[in-house]
Amino acid sequence: MSKSLNLYVGTVAGIGLLLVGAYNFADRNVADYPENPQMLGELPAPIPEPEAPVKTAAAPEAVDGGIIGAAHADNGDSKGLRFGLGRGALPEEIAAWNLDVSPDGTGLPAGSGNAYDGESIFEEKCAVCHGSFAEGVGNWPKLAGGDGTLADEDPLKTVGSYWPYTSTVWDYVHRSMPFGNAQTLSVDETYDIVAYILYSNDIIDDEFELNQDTLPEVVLPNADGFIVDDRAETEYSKWRTEPCMENCKDAPAQITMRATVLDVTPEEAVEEPAATDPAPEPATAADPAPEPAAEPAAEPAATDAPDPELVAAGEKVFNKCKACHQIGDGAKNRVGPQLNGIVGRDIGSVDGFKYSKTMGSMDGSWDAETLAAFLANPRGTVKGTKMAFAGLRKDADVEAMIAYLSSFSQ
């Protein structure tokens, strides 16, 4: 019984101490109820509607920094009216927004850059979307190539093939790039990047200094391909009339093109029905029996044909080169020369391609040894080459690439 009594007494004492502590806490921290609390009926009246601004006798300088209410002026003089809101923008605030550059170069800040320095900056800040050679990644825009394609069914519109002004390139890069981190590029970094883009389009060389004076002088290939928008004078009157709602076209609508050039048409192409040839007439007894067709002579087996597996591996490696070079049927010169028959061809000998001074004056041919050295280290092998590719790091890739290139004759 004594143990139970001690347990009971201890429990009661603990509860008592807890109650005393709670009372002291409430007494110190809970505010007293106000003697004259504000009742609902004593709330202030609704805020009245603001009155329209009225004309004041303020002098013109007194309204400087306020927002003028010109709509209420009787005599056209808005200087006597103001809402009394805001202040005049500070010069540094205006400068932060005044970033536009005109087509003639007005607005370009002092600075300079070149393609050689721009390559590393472009690789760090731009290549994730636009590729190491401005060839574009996935559906991100291509910035280089497309020369002579504007009249094609699927034109490639890049800085080199389509844009009108170099100042537009500078303005857009400085204002909006990099994507997600706009306006973090310094003035010199912007000149470097624009120089690399122009260099990738074979418009300037890698040592050309781009600055506020020389940039407007660089003329893009399609500068004369734009016209003044005169639709307000020449077209608005034709289609800003009462709309036709029925029987507006005499001929029935026809599908004249599929959207394959937009890359949205499903891969499964609609097969055209095969043309049916007329059935051959039955042979008669008078007709001579047809002679059996002569079998074609067997072609001599190629003695130095490259390993097919190595060629297939080289085709995959060549994906790194497609942005600048073409190979195969219909290959044309692009940023780099077409590569048909490159193995064994004289160095710098493709007709119609503008080589660097170093490449154009080199002697010798692209034998396997020379080609392997160039593919591994282009700039180290040919000083001054315009090719921006850093080189293939693996010997196996170099060997596969040469095998692939050798599979295409001149």
H helices of 216-265, where? 231-234, 236-239
CATH fold, domain 112-217, is Cytochrome Bc1 Complex; Chain D, domain 2 (1.10.760)
CATH number for the segment(s) 308-406: 1.10.760.10
Name the 3-class secondary structure at 211.
strand
Give phi and psi for 42, each to the nearest 5.
-100, 10
CA 28 to chain centre: 66
Judge contact between 338 and 332, C-beta under 8 A: yes
Do the domains at 112-217 and 308-406 have one common CATH topology?
A: yes
User: What is the distance between the terminal CA atoms of the chain, rounded to a whole angstrom?
Assistant: 114
- Number of Cβ within 10 Å of residue 24's Cβ equals 10
The domain ranges of the chain are 60-88, 112-217, 308-406
Distance from C-alpha of 408 to C-alpha of 388, rounded to nearest angstrom: 24
**Digits of tens for pLDDT over the chain (410 positions)?**
455 666 777 787 888 888 877 777 766 665 666 666 655 555 556 666 656 554 444 444 444 444 444 444 444 455 556 677 888 899 999 888 888 899 999 999 999 999 999 999 999 999 999 999 999 998 899 999 999 999 999 999 999 999 999 999 999 999 999 999 999 999 999 999 999 999 999 999 988 999 999 999 999 999 999 988 898 888 888 877 888 888 887 877 777 777 665 566 555 544 544 544 555 555 444 455 555 555 554 444 444 678 888 889 988 888 878 778 889 888 888 778 888 888 888 888 888 888 887 787 888 888 888 889 988 888 788 877 877 677 787 888 888 988 888 888 76
For residue 178, is the peptide bond before it cis, meaning its omega torsion is within 30 degrees of 0?
Answer: yes
Rounded to an integer, what distance in angstroms lies between the CA atom of residue 212 and that of residue 282? 83
Q: Kindly give, in sequence order, each residue whose CB lies less than 8 Å from that of residue 193, ignoring residues fewer than 6 positions away.
A: 113, 118, 121, 122, 125, 126, 173, 177, 185
Q: CA-CA distances (angstroms) from residue 313 to 138, 322, 329, 361, 368?
A: 22, 15, 20, 33, 17
Instruction: Count CB-CB contacts under 10 A for residue 333.
Output: 19
CA 49 to chain centre: 51
Q: Write the single-letter amino acid at 372.
A: A
Nearest 5 degrees, angle CA 81-CA 87-CA 91?
Answer: 125
CA-to-CA distance for 248 and 283, rounded, in angstroms?
57
